[in-house]
């Protein structure tokens, strides 16, 4: 299990150079049906060894052909596990992945000078760079309709909802509460997405207005951080983020542990929830960070990981079932 097709096209990686610790990448090629968005969203790709002759019945092209097509720079021959150890010690760092051509006169000194001027992508509204700019209806002829606020949603989240018999109306994060309510939804999903959640304060205001109208809300990844900010909690940047398919999360009531797929660089500050209407429902077993929250009315909840888990374990896919049950009972 690797999931590089899904990883390189995950909008939550916008603005980032992605490095993979698995030693061989590209062995089953690239299939656009596995894409989580319309194209790769990473800014660069670092791997140890590239397979240039993939072998799989569904392969449409090789990984290097795909990255070249979408003009994503990549590098192989790197000890990515040693690099990961550095990142875990020093934290996430800014960097440049520069492709040299035969007539390129750039020198090492030029690149080192350019590195000093690299701007932090989290200073931008990255959500605006990956979200939809129009309303898209998916399987609209259903008895129950969910409005999905797209902050950079993964395709598999939409599919997970459709598979459970609900219609999905995908809207931009700048869509007003009045416009959302005019669609007469039975519930709201706030999706995953890249960057600092405080950069999209317009969405916290919208979320508050939607909640005041009594609609059930479920947040995923960035959506969890938005929910915390909506109810006056706080978020902060993790040292090196949570990435990968094997993060253990413990439910605070049952103490049951679930293995989850994660991709986020920010987290909810637990102390900030003490005087709010939110309670912590899940914690990360590795570092104790907040992984899930729920409103005291039980009409709003969120998790920091990806229950659709594409790629990854499906331990928590039941969360979609629980949300659909909530909207049917509301």
Mode of pairing for the β-strands spanning 49-50 and 187-190: unpaired
Chain position carrying tokens 């590209």: 26
Q: How far apart are CA 164 and CA 181, in angstroms?
A: 22
Look at the block and give the residue holding tokens 């508050």: 208
Distance from C-alpha of 270 to C-alpha of 225, rounded to nearest angstrom: 12
C-alpha separations of 33 from 37, 148, 155, 196 in Å: 10, 21, 10, 29
Out of 242, 264, 295, 306, pick the active-site residue: 306
In degrees and rounded to multiples of 5, residue 61 shows phi and psi of: -160, 170
257 is catalytic: no
Active-site option among 131, 151, 221, 249: 221
Q: Report the run of H or E that residue 240 belongs to, with start and end.
A: strand 235-251
- Of residues 6, 36, 291, 308, which has the active-site annotation? 308
151 included as an active-site residue: no
Question: What is the b/e burial string over 136-165, where b = at least 16 CB atoms within 10 angstroms of the residue's CB?
Answer: eebeeebeebbbbbbbbbbbbbbebbeebe
Q: What gap in Å lies between CA 66 and CA 50, rounded to an integer?
A: 13
Question: Edge-to-edge, what's the strand order for the sheet holding 17-19?
Answer: 17-19, 44-46, 74-75
Task: Clarify whether 291 is annotated catalytic.
Answer: no
**From CA 267, how far away is CA 228, in angstroms rounded?**
10
Active site residues: 221, 306, 308
């Amino acid at each position: 299990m690797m999931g590089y097709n899904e990883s390189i096209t995950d909008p939550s990686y916008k603005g980032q150079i992605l490095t993979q610790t698995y030693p061989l990448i590209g062995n089953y090629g690239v299939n656009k049906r596995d894409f989580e968005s319309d194209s790769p969203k990473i800014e660069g790709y670092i791997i140890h060894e590239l397979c240039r002759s993939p072998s799989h019945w569904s392969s449409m092209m090789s990984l290097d052909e795909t990255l070249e097509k979408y003009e994503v720079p990549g590098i192989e021959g790197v000890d990515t596990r040693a690099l990961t150890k550095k990142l875990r010690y020093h934290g996430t760092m800014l960097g440049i992945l520069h492709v040299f051509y035969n007539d390129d006169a750039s020198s090492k000194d030029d690149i080192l000078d350019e590195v000093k001027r690299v701007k932090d992508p989290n200073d931008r509204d990255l959500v605006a760079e990956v979200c939809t700019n129009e309303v898209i209806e998916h399987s609209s002829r259903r008895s129950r309709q969910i409005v999905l606020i797209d902050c950079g949603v993964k395709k598999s989240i939409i599919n997970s909802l459709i598979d459970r018999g609900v219609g999905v109306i995908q809207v931009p994060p700048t869509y007003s509460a009045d416009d959302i309510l005019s669609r007469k939804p039975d519930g709201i999903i706030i999706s995953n997405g890249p960057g600092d959640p405080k950069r999209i304060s317009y969405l916290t205001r919208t979320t508050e207005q939607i909640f005041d109208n009594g609609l059930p809300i479920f947040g995923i990844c960035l959506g969890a951080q938005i929910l915390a900010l909506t109810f006056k909690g706080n978020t902060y940047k993790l040292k090196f983020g949570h990435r990968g398919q094997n993060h253990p999360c413990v439910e605070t009531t049952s103490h049951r542990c679930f293995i989850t797929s994660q991709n986020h660089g920010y987290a909810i500050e637990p102390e900030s929830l003490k005087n709010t209407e939110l309670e912590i429902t899940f914690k990360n077993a590795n570092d104790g960070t907040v992984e899930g929250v729920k409103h005291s009315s039980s009409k709003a909840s969120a998790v920091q990981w990806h229950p659709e888990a594409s790629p990854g374990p499906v331990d928590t896919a039941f969360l979609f079932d629980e949300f659909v049950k909530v909207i049917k009972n509301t």
